[in-house]
Structure 1
Amino acid sequence: MTVNEDSFTNWKNREEIAESMIPMIGKLHRERDVTVLLHSRSLVNKSVVSILKTHRFARQIAGYELSVTDTLPFLQALTTLDLGPSQIDIGMLAAMYKADDRALSVEAFTAEAVAGATGANKIEGGEGRDVVLYGFGRIGRLVARLLIEKAGSGNGLRLRAIVVRGGGDQDIVKRASLLRRDSIHGQFQGTITVDEATSTINANGNEIKVIYANDPSEIDYTAYGIKDAILIDNTGKWRDREGLSEHLRPGIDKVVLTAPGKGDVPNIVHGVNHDTIKPDEQILSCASCTTNAIVPPLKAMADEYGVLRGHVETVHSFTNDQNLLDNYHKADRRGRSAPLNMVITETGAASAVAKALPDLKAPITGSSIRVPVPDVSIAILSLRLGRETNREEVLDYLRDVSLTSPLKRQIDFTTAPDAVSSDFIGSRHASIVDAGATKVDGDNAILYLWYDNEFGYSCQVIRVVQHVSGVEYPTYPATAV
C-alpha cells in the first residue's frame, strides 16, 4: 500500500470515529444539558468534517494534531457518568490526562476531573429563563440564532418574543427570511416556519412571538405568558438608565443593552468584569464590539507585564449606520459612501476601558477607520509595558492565555501566516491574536487583534445573559485536577 493510500485510510478511520461521536455529543446536550467542547470550541451540532477540523486546531497549540482517537475515550467515559448541566472540554481532558503520572484509567481520571458536575454536586436543571429581543437587526438576529442553538434540553435560555415596529404586508415573513438566510453568516442551521395568523416564528421547535410596538410602554409581556424575562435591547435607542428603565414592564426582570451604556449603567465585558454584576442590578450594557475585543487582551497584558499607556487603532467594517451612497447623515463623515471609502470616525472603546478595568490606571487613547468590508474588524493595540520582554515570550504567554486561562473563551490565537479578515467570520471569541503580526521591542508591544464585530460580539452578549440569568454552567476540567 502506498503512503497516499495509508493517509487516506487513516482519514476514513478518523471520519468513522467522528461520526460515532455525534450521537453521544447530541444526547449529552439534549438530555443532560451538557455542552461538549474541544479547547473551548463547542462540538454540539457539528458535522464530521467540522469535528475533525476542530481537532486539527490543536496543531498550533502543542505542535501536534489532536486526534479523535485521543478524545473518544473521554467522551465515552462522560456518557457513563451522572452528569448535570455543564460544559466539558474533552481536549483539556486529553491534554491533562497525558500530563498526569498517576496511571489512572481514562474512566477514573474523567470521573475525578468532572466530579463537580456529577452526583450530589451537579446543578439541577430548572425551567429555563425567558428572553425577549427588542429589535431584530444585525445583532438581534445573530443573538436569536445563538439562543435557538443553545436551547438544548430547554432548561436554559428560551427566546419567547421579538419586539419590532410594524413594517407592512408580510412583515413577519420578511423578518423570518432574514433570520433564515444571511449574506455574511450563511444559512440558519435548522428549520423555520411562520404562522402569520398568530404572529409566530417557529425555529427548531422554538415558538417565538413577534410583538409589534412603537414604544415599550405599549407592551404587557405577561399577556403572552412571559415572566421574569431578560430583555435584550438591540436598538441602541436608549442607552442611559432612565431610557432603558422604560423596558421594565410587567414580565421583564432585567434589561441588557447591546451598545455602550451611558452614565451609571455598568458596561460589562464577559470574562473580565462580569463577576462584578450585582444580583439586584436590573440594567446593564455589554459595551461595544471593539471594547470586547481589546479589554480581554489588555487585561492579560496588564496582569503579566503591567501597562503604562496604550493606544488602539481600529480598522472597522462598515455598518448600517453608514450610507451606501453619499447622502445626508448627522455625523460629519458617515454620510459618505461606506462601500467606496475608508472613513475616519471615532471610537468610544478606549474611554470604555475604564469602566471594564477600573484598576488599570494607564491612559488609553483610541481612533477608528471604517473600511469597505461588511464584517470582521481588526484592533491594533500599541502598549507601553511595565517591563521589558520579547516577542517569543509574549506569544507563548498569549497562546497559553487562549487555552487555559479564564479568558480562553474571549481570546483566540492564530499562527496562520496568510490570515485575512474573512477567515474570522463566525469566530465566537471576542478577539483573535494574530501571532505573525505581533511586534515587541523591549517595553513596547503592538498586538493585532481580529474580531468578528457581529458574531463574536453576539457570543459575548449571550455569555452575559447566561451569567445574569443563572444558567451560565460551570466548565470542566479545571486547569488542574
Structure 2
Amino acid sequence: MTVNDDSFTNWKNREEIAESMIPIIGKLHRERDVTVLLHSRSLVNKSVVSILKTHRFARQITGVELSVTETLPYLRALTTLDLGPSQIDIGMLAATHRGDDRGLTVEAFTAEAVAGATGADKIESRSGRDVVLYGFGRIGRLVARLLIEKAGSGNGLRLRAVVVRRGGAQDIVKRASLLRRDSIHGQFQGTITVDEASSTIFANGNAIKVIYANDPSEVDYTAYGIKDAVLIDNTGIWRDREGLSQHLRPGIDKVVLTAPGKGDVPNIVHGVNHDMIKPDEQILSCASCTTNAIVPPLKAMADEYGVLRGHVETVHSFTNDQNLLDNYHKADRRGRSAPLNMVITETGAASAVAKALPDLDAPITGSSIRVPVPDVSIAILSLRLGRETTREEVLGYLRNVSLTSALKRQIDFTTAPDAVSSDFMGSRHASIVDAGATKVDGDNAILYLWYDNEFGYSCQVVRVVQHVTGVEYPTYPAPAV
C-alpha cells in the first residue's frame, strides 16, 4: 500500500468516526439541552467535514492537531451521565485529561470534569423565553438565523415575532427570501415557508409572526401570545433610555439595542462586563461591532501587562449607511461611493471602551476607514504597555487566552501566514488575533484583530440575550479565570 493509499484510508476512517459523532451530538442537544463544543466551537448541526475541519483547526491554537479518535471516547462518556443543560467542550476535556497525571480513565475524568452539570448540581431545563426582533435588516436576519439554530430542545430562546414597516406587495415573501439567501453568509441551513394569510414565516418549524407597525406604540404583543419577551432593536433609531423605553409595551420585559447606547444605557460587551448587568435592568446596549472586537483583547492585555494609552484604527467594510454612488449624505464623507472609495470616518468604539472597562485608566483614541469590501473588518490596536515584553511572550499569552480563558468565546487566534479578510466570514468570535501581523517592541504592542462585523457581532448579541434571560448555560470544563 502506498503512502497516498494510507492517507486516504486514514481519512475515510476519520470520516466514519465523525459520522458516528453526529447522532450523539444531536441527541444530547435535543434531549438534554447540552451543546457539545470543540475549543469553544459548537459541533451541533455540523457536517462530517465540518467536524473534521474543526478538529484540525486545534493545531492553530495548541500546535497539535486533534483527532476525532481522541475526542470520541469523551463524547461517548457524556452519554452515560445524568447531564443537565450545559455546554461541554470535548476538546478541552481531551487536553486537560492529557495533562492530568492521576491515571483516571476517560469515563472517570469526564464525570469529574463535568460534575457541576450532573446529579443534584445540574440546572433544570427552563421553559422557553420569547424573543422579538424590531427591524429585520443585516443584523436582524443574522440574529434570527442564530436564534433558530439554537432553538434546540425548545427550552431556550424562542423567536416569536419580527416587527417591520410594511414594504408593499409580497412584503413577507421578500423578507423570507432575504432570510433564506444571503450574498455574504450563504444559504439558510434548513427550510423556510411562508403563510401570507397569517403573516407567518416558518423556519425549521419555528413560527415567526411578522407584525407590521410604524412605531412601537402601535403594538400590543400580548395579542400575539407573546409574554415576558426580550425585544432586540436592530433599527438604531432610538439609542437613549427615553427612546428605547417606548418598546416596553405589554408582553415586552427587556430591550436590547444592537448599536452603541447613549446616556445612561449600559453598553455591554459579552465576556467582559455582562456580569455587571443588574437583574432589574430593562434597557441595555450591545455596543458596536468594533467595540466588541477591541474590548476583549484590550482587557486581556491590560490584565497581564497594564495599558497606559492606546489608539485603534479600524479598516471597516462598508455598510448600508453609505451610498452606492456619490450622493447627498448628512455626514461629510459617507456620501461618496462606498464600493469605489476608501472613506475616512469616525468610530465611537474608543469612547465606548470607558463604559465597558471603567477601571481602565488609560486614554484610548480611535478613527475608522471604510473600504470596498462587504463584510469583515480589521482593528489595528496600538498600545503603550505598563511593562516591557516580547513578541513571543505576547503571542503565547494571547494564544492561551483564546484557548483556556473566560474570553475564549470572544478572542480567537490564527497563525495562518496567508490570512485575508474573507477567511473570517462566519467567525463566531468577537475578534481574531493575527499572530503573523503582531508587532511588539519593548513596551509598545500593535495587535491586528480581524472581525466579522456582521456575524461575529450578532453572536455577541445573542450571548447577551442568553445571559439576561438565564439560558446562558455554564461551560465545562470551567475556563481559567
Note the C-alpha offset of 1:326. 0.6
CA deviations 1:365-422 (Å, max 9, x no partner) are 0000000000000000000000000000000000000000000000000000000000
**Mapping for residues 318-397 of structure 1, pairs under 5 Å:** 318-397=318-397
- CA spacing shift, 1:479–1:463, aligned 2, 3 Å: closer
Equivalent residues of 2:317, 2:372 under 8 A apart: yes
Q: Secondary structure at the match of 1:460?
A: helix
Please identify, of 459-468 and 119-128, the stretch whose mean Cα deviation from structure 2 is larger. 119-128
Q: Secondary structure at the match of 2:309?
A: strand
For residue 210 of structure 2, what is the aligned residue in structure 1? Answer: 210
**Alignment pair present for 1:473 and 2:473:** yes
Note the C-alpha offset of 1:282. 0.1
For residue 194 of structure 1, what is the aligned residue in structure 2? Answer: 194
Q: Secondary structure at the match of 1:57?
A: helix
CA distance in 1, matches of 2:22, 2:470: 28
Q: Secondary structure at the match of 2:71?
A: helix
Two-structure CA RMSD over aligned residues (Å): 0.8
Equivalent residues of 2:415, 2:435 under 8 A apart: yes
Please identify, of 313-322 and 53-62, the stretch whose mean Cα deviation from structure 2 is larger. 53-62
CA distance in 1, matches of 2:292, 2:126: 30
Equivalent residues of 2:221, 2:249 under 8 A apart: yes
For residue 141 of structure 1, what is the aligned residue in structure 2? Answer: 141
CA deviations 1:211-239 (Å, max 9, x no partner) are 00001000000000000000000000000
Equivalent residues of 2:404, 2:480 under 8 A apart: no
Equivalent residues of 2:406, 2:479 under 8 A apart: no
CA distance in 1, matches of 2:373, 2:453: 12
Runs of 4+ in structure 1 off by over 6 angstroms are: none
Note the C-alpha offset of 1:63. 1.9
CA deviations 1:309-341 (Å, max 9, x no partner) are 000000000000000001111111111100000
CA distance in 2, matches of 1:59, 1:9: 21
Unmatched segments (≥5 aa) in structure 1: none
Percent same amino acid among aligned pairs? 92
CA distance in 2, matches of 1:70, 1:479: 20
CA distance in 1, matches of 2:364, 2:126: 43
- CA spacing shift, 1:455–1:447, aligned 2, 3 Å: same
Note the C-alpha offset of 1:61. 2.1
Q: Secondary structure at the match of 1:109?
A: helix
CA distance in 2, matches of 1:26, 1:409: 21
Q: Secondary structure at the match of 1:58?
A: helix
Note the C-alpha offset of 1:478. 1.7
CA deviations 1:22-45 (Å, max 9, x no partner) are 000000001111000000000000
Note the C-alpha offset of 1:480. 7.4
CA distance in 2, matches of 1:82, 1:224: 37
- CA spacing shift, 1:204–1:413, aligned 2, 3 Å: same
CA distance in 2, matches of 1:94, 1:405: 16
**Mapping for residues 59-458 of structure 1, pairs under 5 Å:** 59-458=59-458
CA deviations 1:62-115 (Å, max 9, x no partner) are 222100000000000001111111000000000011111111111111011001
CA deviations 1:105-137 (Å, max 9, x no partner) are 111110110010011111111111000000000
CA distance in 2, matches of 1:205, 1:33: 18
- CA spacing shift, 1:479–1:246, aligned 2, 3 Å: closer
Note the C-alpha offset of 1:479. 4.3
CA distance in 1, matches of 2:204, 2:470: 24
CA distance in 2, matches of 1:59, 1:108: 26
**Alignment pair present for 1:53 and 2:73:** no
Q: Secondary structure at the match of 2:140?
A: helix
CA distance in 1, matches of 2:140, 2:83: 32
Q: Secondary structure at the match of 2:81?
A: coil
Q: Secondary structure at the match of 1:334?
A: coil
CA distance in 2, matches of 1:18, 1:24: 10
Note the C-alpha offset of 1:356. 0.1
CA deviations 1:169-193 (Å, max 9, x no partner) are 1000000000000000000000000
CA distance in 2, matches of 1:140, 1:192: 16
For residue 464 of structure 1, what is the aligned residue in structure 2? Answer: 464
Equivalent residues of 2:61, 2:414 under 8 A apart: no
Q: Secondary structure at the match of 1:284?
A: strand
TM-score by length of 1: 0.99
CA distance in 2, matches of 1:60, 1:207: 40
CA distance in 2, matches of 1:90, 1:223: 44
CA distance in 1, matches of 2:300, 2:286: 19
CA deviations 1:240-280 (Å, max 9, x no partner) are 00000000000000000000000000000000000000000
Q: Secondary structure at the match of 2:269?
A: coil
Q: Secondary structure at the match of 2:198?
A: coil
Q: Secondary structure at the match of 1:27?
A: helix
CA distance in 2, matches of 1:160, 1:462: 15
Q: Secondary structure at the match of 2:383?
A: strand
Equivalent residues of 2:333, 2:344 under 8 A apart: yes
- CA spacing shift, 1:209–1:14, aligned 2, 3 Å: same
CA distance in 2, matches of 1:27, 1:455: 27
CA distance in 1, matches of 2:162, 2:135: 7
Q: Secondary structure at the match of 1:339?
A: coil
CA distance in 2, matches of 1:480, 1:299: 15
Equivalent residues of 2:388, 2:442 under 8 A apart: yes
Please identify, of 194-203 and 54-63, the stretch whose mean Cα deviation from structure 2 is larger. 54-63
CA distance in 1, matches of 2:128, 2:33: 11
